[in-house]
Amino acid sequence: MATFWEIDGIMTQTRTLALLLAAATALSACTQGMPGARSFFQEAGSVAVGADFGNATMNNTLVQSGDRDYTVNLNRRFSTEVPTTINFEFNSSVLDGAAQAVLAQQADWIRQFPEVRFKVFGHTDLVGSNAANQRLGMRRAQAVVAFFAAHGISRDRLEAAVSYGETQPLIVTEGRERANRRTVTEVTGFVQSNPTVMNGKYAEIVFREYVNSAVPPTGLAGVSGAAFSTSQ
């Protein structure tokens, strides 16, 4: 006949096991809502399956076989890393301070990739005639191109400056709308004299920019802990 203490011990163990099972069930329910957290036994990096991250070999193969245009991927990266759109005052193609700040970011990005060609699209709101807005859209696109040229980007890398005028409003209204008065910059191709990207050597560009970004030894003067001696 089981004693009281034996029964109590069995009941305690059962109760502990039930609590552990309940906790595991709750944890499993929580992790099911987390991307990539479907299992505790997935390999490292298995959650990074989106976009191009971790798929360099696959993307390179697709580019070389013609199944994927790397221009699309590069433009997607451009639009992710920097703002692609600037806005203008009514009936103006003048770049204000906010527009210049955005274009400076675009120029910094474009300069990293001398093989890249780009296109600037000009837009207007719906106030005024279509012909006048076509001309205004072009002036806005040309203002952006002039800014890039003044910031070290060759005009040879410009594929086109295009005006859509009033034909592609973001907000359809007959009144003044700042969101429609804009230019959009896109990566559209590669400079023909620099086909290295299409030769599967995209990593060379990345490495080149990494080396060029290094601080010259003279720039480290006075930095604590950064004084290095070349003498043996």
What are 125-180's pLDDT values in tens digits?
999 999 999 999 999 999 999 999 999 999 888 888 999 999 999 999 999 999 99
Task: Specify if 46 maps to a domain.
Answer: no
Q: Judge whether 144 lies within some domain.
A: yes
8 Å CB contact between 145 and 161: yes
For the residues 20-29, what does the mean pLDDT come to?
61
Specify whether the CB–CB gap between 36 and 42 falls below 8 A.
yes
Q: How many independent structural domains does the chain possess? A: 1
Confidence of residue 113 (pLDDT cuts 50, 70, 90): confident
Decide if 167 is inside a domain.
Answer: yes
In terms of residue numbers, what domain contains 117?
Answer: 68-211
**Where do we find the tokens 């080396």?**
211
Q: Which residues contact 65 (CB under 8 A, 6 or more apart)?
A: none
Residue 29 domain flag: no
Return the higher-pLDDT residue of 142 and 198: 142
Residue 225 lies in a domain: no
Q: What is the dihedral of CA 107, 110, 112, 114, to 10 degrees?
A: -130
Asked whether residue 176 is domain-assigned, the answer is yes
The answer to whether residue 44 sits within a structural domain is no
**pLDDT on residue 232:** 41
Contact between 138 and 122 (Cβ < 8 Å): yes
120-124, 127-131, 157-161, 216-220: the lowest-pLDDT one: 216-220
Q: Which residues contact 133 (CB under 8 A, 6 or more apart)?
A: 124, 125, 126, 165, 166
pLDDT band at 12 (very low <50, low <70, confident <90, very high): low
Write down the residue that tokens 């009936």 correspond to: 91
CA distance 32 to 23: 14
Q: What is the pLDDT of residue 74?
A: 78
Question: Which burial class, exposed, middle or buried, applies to 87 when counting CB atoms under 10 A from its CB (0-12, 13-18, 19+)?
Answer: middle
**For all residues of the chain together, what is the average pLDDT?**
73
Residue 112 has pLDDT above 60, yes or no: yes
Helix (H) or strand (E) holding 12: helix 4-32
Contacts for 58-67 with beta carbons within 8 Å, 24 or more apart?
A: 60/200, 60/202, 63/198, 63/200, 64/200
Does residue 93 sit in helix, strand or coil? coil
Rounded Cα gap, residues 149 and 155, in angstroms = 6
Q: What is the domain-level CATH number for residue 72?
A: 3.30.1330.60
How confident is the model at residue 48, as a pLDDT?
Answer: 46
pTM of structure: 0.57
